[in-house]
A and B are shown apart, each in its own frame.
Chain A
Amino acid sequence: MPRLLIKRFFRSFKENFARHFAQILLVFAVVTVIVSLERTAFTIIDGRQNNKDFERIEDGQFTTLFPIPDDEISKLCEEYNVQIQENFGVDVQSENKIYRIFRQRENIDVQVFFEGTLPDSDYQAVIEQNYAYKYNISCGDSIDIGDNTYTVCGIASLPDYVHSTEHMNDICATADRFLWVIVTDSEFEKYYCDNRYTPEYTYAYRLSSKDDLVNFSHAVYDMKIDDSHLINADESLREYISSMQNGENGSMPNVLQFIEREDNRRMDIELKYAFIYKSAGFSVGILLIAMLAFIFAVVTRNEIHNDHNVIGSLYALGVSKRTIISFYIFPGVIVSFLGGIIGLTVGFLPEITDISMRAFHGVNSFPYYELSNPLVLYLYSLVMPPIVNFAVNYIVLNRSLSHSALSLIRGTYESKKVFNIKLKTNNFIRRFKLRHLIEERGSIITFVCVLSSLIILMLGLSTNAMIKNNVSSTIENTNYKYLCTLKYPAKDLATSGEKIFIKNVKSEYGENNIIFSLVGIPENSKFYSAKPDNDTDSAVAGKALASKFNLKKGSKLTFCEGVAEKEFSVIITDIVDSNSNMELYMHIDCVREMFDCSSSFYNTVLFSDEPDIDDSLIYSKTKTEDILNNISLMKRAVTPFMWFSYISSILIFIAALYLIVSTMIDSTSIGISLIHVLGYDHFEAHRMYISPISYSVIAALIFAIPVSKIISSGLCRYVFSKFATGMFFELPIEDYVIVFLSALAIFFFILLLLLQKVKRIDTSLALKCRE
């Protein structure tokens, strides 16, 4: 019997080449995409695991206002059995670019080279890989940083700068204008001691046990402020230190930030996405293959309906249902297997994996790991499609074959339930069309197919909408021109700007923590429309934050800062328009009170024009364009995903609709033939049988478009759960109209192709089946 099945498959393949080819193409497309994505995910996960002894990634980091004395560091290390490394960085601005200068890492967050080595001399530097890729820089080329010229001796990545952003809260890596550079220790000292630059005193730590974290963080927070180790303190800093030592600036601690590795937005982003791709990819792949299997099964079921008398005769001869079902399932299983083999082969091509790997590397900076070849992907590609196909086909076809031999021979097996709906129209053709539409089972299958492909399309459109909406909300709602974060808030800063207090806080979002800005604003703020009460229990949420956390008026939001155990809860009193940044607004005095700062404390100044404060006081200056640039970079990061969704959805839509409409036409062929026998012409037959198919597709589109939008928005929320940005997925009405009209155009094109088939139906078919 297996020999017969194989022979039958090859003949069936030849006879229905277009159909089987479309089926193979669909399975191939799904498997290729899933395999390349999954292989990328496995490569990253395995690569990170294999590299862990070399990279020695931090458990967290903290940033201080002043460097901690060496003896304090030793004491901390000894007492809490922790390893601490200075990852000090000095920002040098040159030609609109920011170069963050580091010395080489030895124990924690060790650099991994793509090419080259560490610098041997003070004229050499190692640069970040994404920047090198973007500007086509390789070893031996030179870069200018300020007045100095360096020869690039290495291109590398750093585990704490995977998401290589200037500020930790930046949404997207900014390889266009920011890069880190590693120079020799002696060269680093020059920058470190230069009064023009203010170093960022960041320490990376590795704990022996996670249990020590809380005590260790308390010890770090409790350290006394001491400026004795400041090498390059300018006048404003000295003034600030003096005010703090005199208690004028409240009890502001030395620690600016203390975070764990999982809260560090610069770290592990590629790993987090790899895990999402790994789990979501597998499930989406199985769903897509099951959907395809369902379409194949519907086509096969139609074949069974056509062969009912043959099947009945074979039953009468004693052939078992198992044998018959294997006859019909086998082609689908083989087609899935072939699609799987080709998909696996193509998906494993380094060039294909490189496309998805490049999508990761385009926005993240991490080593090029050796490509993984996980066994599970071979099983997934070669075993899953045939098994899913078998299972789905078995479920769908089993019923069609579970009839008695006699009923199949007679063709009386189909006891289709007739909906006795009273139709008001007296026009026969119109009544017939309506009845046909109501009775057409294909309508439900069409809806399922249209819905599935539209969900994939809507994922891309929703992503695009999110970016567009974030751009427009940023343009509309960013009322300041400059947002300047101060290095050291001076006591009496004479400025025309609006003084605010911004604090990064975090809140749980599913399994992750999302960091957002708690913005302390004065009453009657010039730049924010929020009017928060002077009350530590209430706050106003920006639209972006509200959309992320599904906040409404009266909702409760709980958040905390750093690893501190202290939690804050506020009731949302209002939701206001905001830019794409996630912001929670409170009265500035309340924020000061919550974080034990003096009544005059602030750390940020907003300007509607050029800042009127000394540049040396400014730690970072954010322009509206920077926010927009951030969003456009995010768009670049998700563009491959959007194109994948557009192309795959269109392919699935075309193939699925072709198969379904073709099946619907096949199932009506005897009816059409009979209508011709009764004297109806082609045009009337077309109106009676083909128009209902068009109506069912139109109806499927009308229902599927909004349903797919709702589902895809939910999926997008999950996919972008780690992005700290507004979740605005609303599409303009024109987009829905375009989707509807495009889908309709594709359908009518398919119908035009298939009408050739209808034209070939003549009276002979009905006459042949007269028995």
Chain B
Amino acid sequence: MFLTITNLQKYYGQADNKQLVLNNISATVDEGNICVIMGPSGSGKSTLLHCIGGLERFDSGSICVDSVELSNLSDKKLAAYRRNALGFVFQFYNLIPNLTVAENVDVCKYLAPSPLDRDELLSFLVLEDKKNCFPNTLSGGEQQRCAIARALIKKPKLLLCDEPTGALDSKTSYEILSLIEKVNKEYGTTILIVTHNSAIKPMAHKIITIKDGAVSESYMNSERISACALENI
């Protein structure tokens, strides 16, 4: 298994005001799979993603990513883990406004010892014509593609997407999802997508549903269909 989560527990608050947000979560994801984590707002899905991404600590249980146990890692090692193993895509693209598309991607290029070829990646993400444009001149979909390029340039083993289509219209959303799928196929990247949009479900290899901080449903999607076909459903 590429990702193994065992009995994960996470509380917010302290002492009397403690609130259990992740309640004994266990799950696995195979290498090269797309896994969609679903659930209503406040269910704990983003918190789970942040724990997997090493952005948040958890109280008990374990998360093992590609044989690396996160609970034992210091802050410094967690930063190195994020640097070497992860790519993040956020709902709001969070690009540096006064750097061009190519330069925004370059910001992360320096982090990897053998990064992808930037121009090839931009071409793959259909951004080659926009590489000298600044973020404020791009559409939402283009900005999100740029954010994906930035996350992918360092060849992450695991791509974490937090509501990647949350700020996009449905047409652009499907474009982005197709692209994520393309990335999965082309680079074999394991992808975790957190969303409350159930329309994404059919493109995933695995679906995990979280409700009130606990896994309510987890299954492999045997009838998986391509993301580009989603739009026509």
| B98 at interface by CB-CB < 8 Å | yes
Residues in chain A near residue B83, CB distance under 8 A:
317-320
> Which one of B55, B99, B110 lies within 8 Å of A7 (CB-CB)?
B99
| B31 at interface by CB-CB < 8 Å | no
Contact status B106-A4, CB under 8 Å = yes
| Given A1-B110, A4-B106, A310-B95, also A317-B50 (CB < 8 A) | no
* Complex-state Cα separation, A455 to B111, whole angstroms: 48
| A279 at interface by CB-CB < 8 Å | no
Contact status A313-B55, CB under 8 Å = no
Contact status A318-B99, CB under 8 Å = no
Give the interface size class of chain B.
20 to 34
Closest residue of A by beta carbon distance from B96:
A310
Contact status B98-A316, CB under 8 Å = no
> Which one of B56, B95, B107 lies within 8 Å of A4 (CB-CB)?
B107
The 0/1 profile, CB within 8 Å of B marked 1, for residues 755-771 of chain A is 00000000000000001
Residues in chain B near residue A15, CB distance under 8 A:
98
* Complex-state Cα separation, A651 to B86, whole angstroms: 50
| B82 at interface by CB-CB < 8 Å | yes
Q: Shortest CB–CB separation between residue B46 and chain A, in angstroms?
A: 10
Closest residue of B by beta carbon distance from A769:
B92
Residues in chain A near residue B99, CB distance under 8 A:
4, 7-8, 11
| Given A317-B151, A318-B79, A318-B83, also A312-B94 (CB < 8 A) | yes
A403-411, A479-487, A689-697: which one contacts chain B?
Answer: A403-411
Contact status B108-A316, CB under 8 Å = no
> Which one of A4, A12, A309, A405 lies within 8 Å of B55 (CB-CB)?
A405
* Complex-state Cα separation, A309 to B167, whole angstroms: 15
Contact status A7-B103, CB under 8 Å = yes
Within 8 A of B (CB), among A316-330: 316-320, 323, 327
Contact status B56-A406, CB under 8 Å = yes
* Complex-state Cα separation, A405 to B160, whole angstroms: 14
The 0/1 profile, CB within 8 Å of B marked 1, for residues 182-199 of chain A is 000000000000000000
The 0/1 profile, CB within 8 Å of A marked 1, for residues 77-101 of chain B is 0011011101110111011111100
* Complex-state Cα separation, A310 to B50, whole angstroms: 16
> Which one of A312, A313, A318 lies within 8 Å of B86 (CB-CB)?
A318
| A314 at interface by CB-CB < 8 Å | yes
Residues in chain B near residue A318, CB distance under 8 A:
79-80, 82-84, 86, 108, 111, 154
Contact status B108-A317, CB under 8 Å = yes
| Given A1-B110, A4-B106, A317-B111, also A404-B98 (CB < 8 A) | no
Q: Shortest CB–CB separation between residue B122 and chain A, in angstroms?
A: 16
Contact status B53-A314, CB under 8 Å = no
Contact status A771-B92, CB under 8 Å = yes
Contact status A313-B98, CB under 8 Å = no
| B118 at interface by CB-CB < 8 Å | no
Q: Shortest CB–CB separation between residue B168 and chain A, in angstroms?
A: 14
* Complex-state Cα separation, A312 to B103, whole angstroms: 18
Closest residue of B by beta carbon distance from A316:
B88
Residues in chain A near residue B87, CB distance under 8 A:
317
Contact status A313-B106, CB under 8 Å = no
Closest residue of A by beta carbon distance from B160:
A316
Residues in chain A near residue B103, CB distance under 8 A:
4, 7-8
> Which one of B55, B86, B106 lies within 8 Å of A406 (CB-CB)?
B55
> Which one of A1, A12, A317 lies within 8 Å of B150 (CB-CB)?
A317
Closest residue of A by beta carbon distance from B47:
A406
* Complex-state Cα separation, A771 to B111, whole angstroms: 29
Contact status A319-B107, CB under 8 Å = yes
Q: Shortest CB–CB separation between residue B12 and chain A, in angstroms?
A: 12
* Complex-state Cα separation, A307 to B99, whole angstroms: 13
Within 8 A of A (CB), among B87-136: 87-88, 90-92, 94-99, 103, 106-108, 110-111
Within 8 A of A (CB), among B60-88: 79-80, 82-84, 86-88
Contact status A314-B107, CB under 8 Å = yes
Contact status B94-A310, CB under 8 Å = yes
Q: Shortest CB–CB separation between residue A452 and chain B, in angstroms?
A: 31
Residues in chain B near residue A319, CB distance under 8 A:
83, 107-108, 111
* Complex-state Cα separation, A171 to B56, whole angstroms: 73
Closest residue of B by beta carbon distance from A9:
B98
* Complex-state Cα separation, A7 to B99, whole angstroms: 8
Residues in chain A near residue B86, CB distance under 8 A:
316-318
* Complex-state Cα separation, A635 to B154, whole angstroms: 69
* Complex-state Cα separation, A8 to B151, whole angstroms: 20
Q: Shortest CB–CB separation between residue B79 and chain A, in angstroms?
A: 6
Residues in chain A near residue B150, CB distance under 8 A:
317
> Which one of B56, B82, B92, B106 lies within 8 Å of A317 (CB-CB)?
B82
Contact status B84-A406, CB under 8 Å = no
| Given A8-B99, A15-B98, also A316-B106 (CB < 8 A) | no
Within 8 A of B (CB), among A1-25: 1, 4, 7-8, 11-12, 15
Contact status B107-A11, CB under 8 Å = no
Query: Which of the listed residues A317, A323, A327 has the most CB atoms from chain B within 10 Å of its own CB?
Result: A317
Q: Shortest CB–CB separation between residue B57 and chain A, in angstroms?
A: 10
Contact status A11-B94, CB under 8 Å = no
The 0/1 profile, CB within 8 Å of B marked 1, for residues 304-347 of chain A is 00010110111111111001000100000000000000000000
Residues in chain B near residue A316, CB distance under 8 A:
53, 55, 82, 86, 88, 90
The 0/1 profile, CB within 8 Å of A marked 1, for residues 136-156 of chain B is 000000000001001100100
> Which one of A12, A404, A409 lies within 8 Å of B94 (CB-CB)?
A409
Residues in chain A near residue B96, CB distance under 8 A:
8, 307, 310, 314, 327
* Complex-state Cα separation, A404 to B94, whole angstroms: 16
* Complex-state Cα separation, A771 to B56, whole angstroms: 20
> Which one of A1, A307, A317, A404 lies within 8 Å of B88 (CB-CB)?
A317
Closest residue of B by beta carbon distance from A320:
B79
| Given A4-B99, A313-B88, also A406-B50 (CB < 8 A) | yes
Residues in chain B near residue A312, CB distance under 8 A:
94
* Complex-state Cα separation, A691 to B97, whole angstroms: 31
Contact status B94-A313, CB under 8 Å = yes
Residues in chain B near residue A12, CB distance under 8 A:
98
Q: Shortest CB–CB separation between residue A542 and chain B, in angstroms?
A: 66
Residues in chain B near residue A309, CB distance under 8 A:
90, 92, 94
Closest residue of B by beta carbon distance from A310:
B94
* Complex-state Cα separation, A15 to B99, whole angstroms: 12
Residues in chain A near residue B88, CB distance under 8 A:
313, 316-317
| Given A4-B103, A320-B79, also A404-B55 (CB < 8 A) | yes
Closest residue of B by beta carbon distance from A327:
B96
Residues in chain B near residue A8, CB distance under 8 A:
96, 98-99, 103
* Complex-state Cα separation, A502 to B87, whole angstroms: 89
The 0/1 profile, CB within 8 Å of B marked 1, for residues 6-49 of chain A is 01100110010000000000000000000000000000000000
Query: Which of the listed residues B106, B111, B150 has the most CB atoms from chain A within 10 Å of its own CB?
Result: B111
The 0/1 profile, CB within 8 Å of A marked 1, for residues 28-62 of chain B is 00000000000000000000001001011000000
Residues in chain B near residue A406, CB distance under 8 A:
50, 55-56
Closest residue of A by beta carbon distance from B93:
A313
Query: Which of the listed residues B79, B147, B154 has the most CB atoms from chain A within 10 Å of its own CB?
Result: B79
* Complex-state Cα separation, A406 to B110, whole angstroms: 22
Residues in chain A near residue B91, CB distance under 8 A:
771
* Complex-state Cα separation, A251 to B103, whole angstroms: 92
* Complex-state Cα separation, A309 to B94, whole angstroms: 6
> Which one of A11, A314, A315, A317 lies within 8 Å of B98 (CB-CB)?
A11
What are 8 A-B pairs with beta-carbon distances under 8 A?
A11-B99, A12-B98, A309-B92, A313-B88, A319-B107, A323-B110, A327-B96, A409-B94
Other A-B contacts than A310-B96, A316-B82, A317-B151, 15 sampled, CB-CB below 8 A, are: A8-B103, A309-B94, A310-B94, A316-B55, A316-B90, A317-B83, A317-B86, A317-B87, A318-B79, A318-B84, A318-B108, A320-B83, A327-B96, A405-B55, A409-B94
By Cβ-Cβ distance, the 3 closest A-B pairs, closest first, are A318-B83, A313-B94, A318-B82
Question: Which residues of A are interface residues toward B (Cβ below 8 A)?
Answer: 1, 4, 7-8, 11-12, 15, 307, 309-310, 312-320, 323, 327, 404-406, 409, 771
